[in-house]
Amino acid sequence: MNTNVQTSGIKSGLEGIPAAETALSHVVGAAGELILCGAHLKDFAAAHSFESAAALFWGTAQDEAPMAEEQVRAGLGAARAAAFARLGALLPSFEGLSLSEALRLGLAAVPEEDAPHIAVTGAIPVILAAAARAKEGKAPLAPDASLPHAADFLRMLRGEPASEAEVTALTTYLVTVMDHGMNASTFTARVIASTGAGLTWAALGGFAALTGPLHGGAPEPVLNMLEEVGTPARAESWVAGELEKGERLMGFGHRIYKVRDPRADVLKAALERLSPSGEKLALARAVEEAALAALKRHKPDRPLETNVEFYTAMLLDGLALPRAGFTPVFAMGRVVGWTAHAMEQQRTGRLIRPASLYVGRKPVREEWR
């Protein structure tokens, strides 16, 4: 069903309709630009740690000077410790759940306390690492409040410290995906916050919206696709076959970008610095090239370029993260955007309550019977 424009003429995807004023991020789709708190993505990602980027988002949202990086690091360390203390009651319920389902459950248990944005951001890596370890029959590891957020996550997950290159790659990823205009999960978080509900509720709703394959659920299928293709020589025929069957190629196309998604380039550079196996990189390049050429032929009037999820999949795989954890790791970065938008909405916005056009049957008036 083509639901782009409904019979009434409304755009059911709300494309092009501004729903909020924000100082947090700006996507210039035609130019392939992403501005985060006043800086171009490339400069922002190069300049910030996870903690300093989060401080800037949360400060901007509240129209206040950002907290010091050390203060955010200490706050997140304490939040990770609090999340770990809650784990005991949760862990048995993780059994049989996917990592996304376990995170949904864990987020629902975060209390709406002082600084809920820090509490919920600190909770995600703890829940995710514990749920992933439980799948391998391993006990959860306590967080180390002295470590940066990304480093502590990798250590809690693996049971040993990650290399500096790996921590840098994950930090680049988390900062790159922290915010992205009025995407579906951010809109969800703003709608929830607009009702006066707290920031943990907004983050939980944001995560729910993120899990769909048209939004943050794509990296796992991207990796499956690369595995199915297998070798660079098969890329062209595999891609053509999928399009013939009417399938979408995961990791390509975007509602806003009409040129290449700038996040794909930042992540590609981070991936190259991480030096994955030459074989994997060659396969990814071959699939990307074949897909772009085939999509151009398939939809000559609709620019379909590489999106953030393509190189996300490669980068997170290069970090040996479990594939089913890719969407929750996305949430680990994006939660900063959700909570910042929720704070900004509550400071500057009002209840979001759009209208709908009724196209159902009308009641028959009594006198016409």
Using CB under 6 A as the criterion, which residues of the chain lie in contact with ligand ACO when the complex forms? 2, 4, 13, 214-216, 218, 248-255, 299, 302, 304, 307-309
Residue of 149, 254, 288, 341 marked catalytic: 254
Name, in order, each residue with C-beta under 8 angstroms of 185's C-beta and a sequence gap of 6 or more: 206, 207, 208, 209, 210, 215, 216, 334, 338
Closest distance between ligand ACO and the C-beta of residue 291, in Å?
Answer: 8
Annotated catalytic residue 48: no
Annotated catalytic residue 309: yes
Name, in order, each residue with C-beta under 8 angstroms of 291's C-beta and a sequence gap of 6 or more: 235, 239, 249, 251, 252, 306
**CB of 69 or CB of 179, closer to ligand ACO:** 179
Q: How far apart are CA 213 and CA 219, in angstroms?
A: 9
170's enclosing H/E stretch is: helix 164-176
Q: How far apart are CA 312 and CA 232, in angstroms?
A: 19
Closest distance between ligand ACO and the C-beta of residue 140, in Å?
Answer: 29
And the tokens for 45? 């990602």
Residue with the shortest CB distance to ligand ACO: 253
And the tokens for 183? 């995407």
Residue 50: C-alpha distances to residues 247, 253, 316, 334 (Å) = 36, 27, 16, 11
**CB of 122 or CB of 216, closer to ligand ACO:** 216
Q: How far apart are CA 220 and CA 323, in angstroms?
A: 6
334: nearest Cα among 36, 10, 23: 36
Closest distance between ligand ACO and the C-beta of residue 192, in Å?
Answer: 19
**CB of 155 or CB of 254, closer to ligand ACO:** 254
**CB of 140 or CB of 219, closer to ligand ACO:** 219
Residue 226: C-alpha distances to residues 170, 179, 257, 323 (Å) = 21, 27, 23, 13
Residue of 51, 242, 305, 309 marked catalytic: 309
Closest distance between ligand ACO and the C-beta of residue 369, in Å?
Answer: 44
Closest distance between ligand ACO and the C-beta of residue 292, in Å?
Answer: 11
**CB of 116 or CB of 337, closer to ligand ACO:** 337
- For 130-146, letters b (16+ CB in 10 Å) and e give bbbbbbeeeebbebebe
**CB of 103 or CB of 250, closer to ligand ACO:** 250
Closest distance between ligand ACO and the C-beta of residue 334, in Å?
Answer: 9
Q: How far apart are CA 304 and CA 50, in angstroms?
A: 30
Going by their DSSP bridges, the two strands 33-36 and 25-28 should be labelled as antiparallel
Phi and psi angles of residue 27, each rounded to the nearest 5 degrees, phi first: -105, 120
**CB of 135 or CB of 323, closer to ligand ACO:** 323
Q: Would you tell me the crossing angle of helices 308-318 and 262-274 to the nearest 10 degrees?
A: 20
Closest distance between ligand ACO and the C-beta of residue 302, in Å?
Answer: 5
Active site amino acids: 254, 309
